[in-house]
Copies of this chain bind each other. A is one copy, B any other.
Amino acid sequence: MKAYYKVDEWRVIEEGFDPLHHEASESIFSLGNGHMGQRANFEEKYSGKSLQGTYIAGIYHPDKTRVGWWKNGYPEYFAKVPNAPNWTGIRIIAGKEELDLHTCKTSEFIRELDMQHGCLNRSFVATFSSGKKMRVVARRFLSMAEDDIGAVRYAVTPVNFDGTIEMIPFLDGNVINRDTNYDEQFWDIIESGVKEDTAYLRSRVRKSGFEAGYAMQYTVEVNGKPAKTVVEPLQQPGYNGFHLKIKARANEEVVLYKYAAILSSLDHKPDLLVKNSIERVTKAARKKFDKLYDNHVAIWEKNWAQSDIIIKGDAAAQQGIRFNIFQLNQTYTGKDERLNIGPKGFTGEKYGGSTYWDTEAFLIPFYLSTEPPEVARNLLIYRFKHLQKAIENAEKLGFNAGAALYPMVTMNGEECHNEWEITFEEIHRNGAIAFAIYNYIRYTGDKDYLAEYGLEVLIALARFWRQRVNWSDVKGKYVILGVTGPNEYENNVNNNWYTNKMAAWTLRYTIECLDYVMDEHPLQYQRIVKKTHLYYDSETSSWKDIIKHMYFPMLDERGIFLQQDGYMDKEQRMVAELSPKERPINQHWSWDRILRSVFIKQADVLQGIFCFEDEYTTDTIRRNFDFYEPRTVHESSLSPCIHSILANRIGEVEKAYDLYLRTSRLDLDDYNNEVAEGLHITSMGGTWMSMVIGFGGMRIKEGMLTFTPNLPHKWKLISFNIQFRGRILNVTISENKTSVKLVKGEKLQVEINGKLVNCTHENNLLT
Chain A residues near B (Cβ < 8 Å): 65-69, 71-73, 396-398, 418-421, 424-425, 470-475, 479, 481-482, 491-492, 494, 565-566, 568-572, 586-596
Q: Are B67 and A481 in contact (CB under 8 A)?
A: no
- With A481-B566, A482-B595 already in contact, the answer to whether A590 and B68 are too (CB < 8 A) is no
Q: Is the CB of B590 within 8 A of A72?
A: yes
In the complex, what residues of B have CB within 8 A of residue A65's CB? 68
Of the candidates B68, B418, B571, the one whose C-beta lies within 8 Å of that of A66 is: B68
Q: Beyond A68-B65, A568-B472, A568-B473, is A590–B398 a contact (Cβ under 8 Å)?
A: yes
Residues of chain B with a CB closer than 8 A to A396's CB: 590
Beta-carbon contact of B418 and A482 below 8 Å: no
The answer on a CB contact under 8 Å between A398 and B593 is: yes
Are B71 and A591 in contact, CB atoms less than 8 angstroms apart?
A: yes
**Across the two chains, which residue of chain B brings its CB closest to A571?**
B470
Q: List 11 A-B contacts (CB under 8 A).
A: A68-B68, A68-B419, A72-B586, A72-B591, A398-B589, A421-B492, A425-B592, A472-B569, A474-B569, A475-B569, A481-B570
**What are the residues of chain B within 8 A of A72 when measuring CB–CB?**
586-591, 594
Q: Which residues of B contact A482 (CB under 8 A)?
A: 592, 595-596
Distance between Cα atoms of A479 and B571 in the complex (Å): 10
Residues of B within 8 A of A587 (CB): 72
Q: Do the beta carbons of A68 and B591 come within 8 Å of each other? A: no
**Quick one: closest B residue to A420, CB to CB?**
B591
Q: How far is the CB of A411 from chain B (nearest CB, A)?
A: 17
A569 with B481, Cβ < 8 A, contacts A68-B68, A491-B492 known: yes
Tell me the complex Cα distance, A419–B421, Å: 11
Once the chains are docked, how many angstroms separate the CA of A586 from the CA of B73?
11
> What residues of B have a CB within 8 angstroms of the CB of A424 in the complex?
590-592
Residues of B near A420 (CB, < 8 A) are: 591-592, 595
Of the listed residues A473, A494, A586, A596, the one surrounded by the most CB atoms of chain B closer than 10 A to its CB is A596
Residues of B within 8 A of A419 (CB): 68-69
A66 CB contacts on chain B under 8 angstroms: 66-68
Residue pair B565, A470 in contact (C-beta under 8 Å): no
Chain B residues within 8 Å of A73, by CB: 590-592
- Give A106 to B494 CA distance when docked, in angstroms: 59
Residue of B whose beta carbon sits closest to that of A468:
B596
Complex alpha-carbon distance, A420 and B492, angstroms: 12
Measured in the bound complex, the distance between the Cα atoms of B565 and A455 in whole Å is 38
- Distance in Å: Cβ of A69 to nearest Cβ of chain B: 5
Nearest 6 A-B pairs (CB), nearest first? Answer: A424-B592, A73-B590, A71-B591, A472-B569, A397-B590, A67-B68
Which B residues are CB-close (under 8 A) to A592? Answer: 73, 397, 420, 424-425, 482
Whether B568 pairs with A474 at a CB distance below 8 angstroms is yes
Sample of 14 further A-B pairs with CB below 8 A, known A69-B418, A397-B592, A472-B568: A69-B419, A72-B586, A72-B588, A72-B589, A72-B590, A420-B591, A420-B592, A424-B590, A425-B592, A481-B570, A482-B595, A492-B492, A565-B565, A566-B566
Residue on B nearest A69 in the bound complex, by CB: B419
Chain B residues closer than 8 Å to A68, beta-carbon distance: 65-68, 418-419
Q: How far is the CB of A449 from chain B (nearest CB, A)?
A: 32
Distance to closest chain B CB from A589 (angstroms): 6
Known: A67-B66, A419-B68. A593 touches B397 (CB 8 A): yes
- A651 → B minimal CB distance (Å): 30
Residues of B within 8 A of A418 (CB): 68-69
Closest to A566 in B: B494
**A589: chain B residues within 8 A (beta carbon):** 72, 398
